[in-house]
Amino acid sequence: MADLSSSTAATTTSPLQPIQVDVKPPHVPSADPVRALMSASITETAPEGPQRDVMGGAARREFKVLDHGFVALVDAMPRLVPEGYTADQAIVQAARVSYGAGTKQINEDRGLIRYLLRHRHTTPFEMVEFKFHIAMPIFIARQWIRHRTANVNEYSARYSIVKDRFYKPSLESVRKQSASNRQGGEQTFNVSDEQQIKTAQDFLAFLDHVETLYGKYLSLTEQGVSRELARMGLPVNVYTEWYWKCDLHNILRFISLRLDSHAQLEIRAYAQAMLDLIEPIVPHTVEAWKDYEFNALHLSALEIQAIRELRSGGSGTLNTTNKREQAEWDTKRASLGL
């Protein structure tokens, strides 16, 4: 092994020498082999004509949702589009890159968007993004966070005191457990029935009770309990907030799932607000999504077979022993008038 003692001594006794850095302007190509592969300066191109802000100059466009919640659109990409166009333009621009043409006539753009959506050419729809500021109860946030393709930054209840906001439905909107759907609760209590109204009132009294725990939470944090632990005692109807940014393709997927009648009513209200905020900005895409996805009907191979059988005089029964699948077919059949 080499004897390092002398060099160590030299290092510890000599003053540190300033490092000489050879600073060259970045535009000298020979100085940097990476920059040598780039142009020396940025080329700026002005827009072809006047542009407009898709949010009409607003910093924020907001819907109130539930008792203390909101969905606010705070930014969009593209934010500026050529005058007379919508942000749908960014989708056709990306789709046409393969043959080098930009935006054409507006009606051609609409046709292309409908084609792309119908044939599930999804990536051009990822060229548009929206950023939202949302306040929702934690039980809704838990459903929301399952949509993994978004970028999320949530209010920290370790760093800050949780705000005194709790979701409480009105007496008329307290829902019963559905007998047919274990995940659902569509029907409300009958408020003219004494027993039913009592049950709904008991539920609201229960929510009032858990809300009183907020005072205890505050006083314990004041006595020095860490915020990260004190929050454990708060119920899931307390509100949280986050910034949520996502591309249009995945926003439409979120809305498809969460505006659907199978989703919980509360999150459906958020999905509806989100849809109403983006629709004026990407009207052609939303129109196509409604036509080919949201209001469309998907038929399985078994269902197509049942329709064919029906047309040749058969009963149109689905060839399955699965009761749920059969029930779903019955619903589709009824909606098709078959």
Ligand X SMILES: Cc1cc2nc3c(=O)[nH]c(=O)nc-3n(C[C@H](O)[C@H](O)[C@H](O)COP(=O)(O)OP(=O)(O)OC[C@H]3O[C@@H](n4cnc5c(N)ncnc54)[C@H](O)[C@@H]3O)c2cc1C
Which positions lie near ligand X, rule CB under 6 A?
Answer: 146-149, 250, 253, 257, 262-263
Which listed residue (61, 110, 253, 258) is catalytic? 258
Shortest gap between Cβ of 89 and ligand X (angstroms)? 25
148 versus 298: smaller Cβ distance to ligand X: 148
CA distance readout (Å), 183 to 73, 196, 265, 290, 325: 30, 21, 12, 25, 17
Shortest gap between Cβ of 120 and ligand X (angstroms)? 11
110 versus 249: smaller Cβ distance to ligand X: 249
Shortest gap between Cβ of 183 and ligand X (angstroms)? 6
CA distance readout (Å), 177 to 64, 153, 238, 316: 27, 33, 22, 33
Shortest gap between Cβ of 238 and ligand X (angstroms)? 21
**Distance from C-alpha of 98 to C-alpha of 65, rounded to nearest angstrom:** 42
- Residue pair 51/82 in contact (Cβ under 8 Å)? The answer is yes
**Distance from C-alpha of 55 to C-alpha of 76, rounded to nearest angstrom:** 8
**Distance from C-alpha of 80 to C-alpha of 90, rounded to nearest angstrom:** 10
Shortest gap between Cβ of 267 and ligand X (angstroms)? 8
Q: Is 61 annotated as catalytic?
A: no
- Residue pair 288/113 in contact (Cβ under 8 Å)? The answer is yes
124 versus 316: smaller Cβ distance to ligand X: 124
Shortest gap between Cβ of 150 and ligand X (angstroms)? 7
Residue listed under structure tokens 């990409």: 77
Helix (H, G, I), strand (E, B) or coil at 80: strand
Shortest gap between Cβ of 258 and ligand X (angstroms)? 6
**Distance from C-alpha of 269 to C-alpha of 224, rounded to nearest angstrom:** 38
106 versus 257: smaller Cβ distance to ligand X: 257
**Distance from C-alpha of 78 to C-alpha of 129, rounded to nearest angstrom:** 7
- Torsions phi, psi for 63 (to 5 deg): -110, 135
8 versus 149: smaller Cβ distance to ligand X: 149
165 versus 253: smaller Cβ distance to ligand X: 253
Helix (H, G, I), strand (E, B) or coil at 178: coil
Helix (H, G, I), strand (E, B) or coil at 135: strand
Closest by Cα among 140, 142, 164 to 217: 164
- 292-298: which pairs have CB atoms within 8 A and are 24 or more residues apart? 292/114, 292/117, 292/118, 293/117, 293/252, 293/256, 294/255, 294/256, 294/259, 297/332, 297/335, 297/336
236 versus 257: smaller Cβ distance to ligand X: 257
Residues 6 or more apart whose CB falls under 8 angstroms from that of 302 comprise 318, 319, 320, 325, 329
Query: Which residues carry out catalysis?
Result: 258
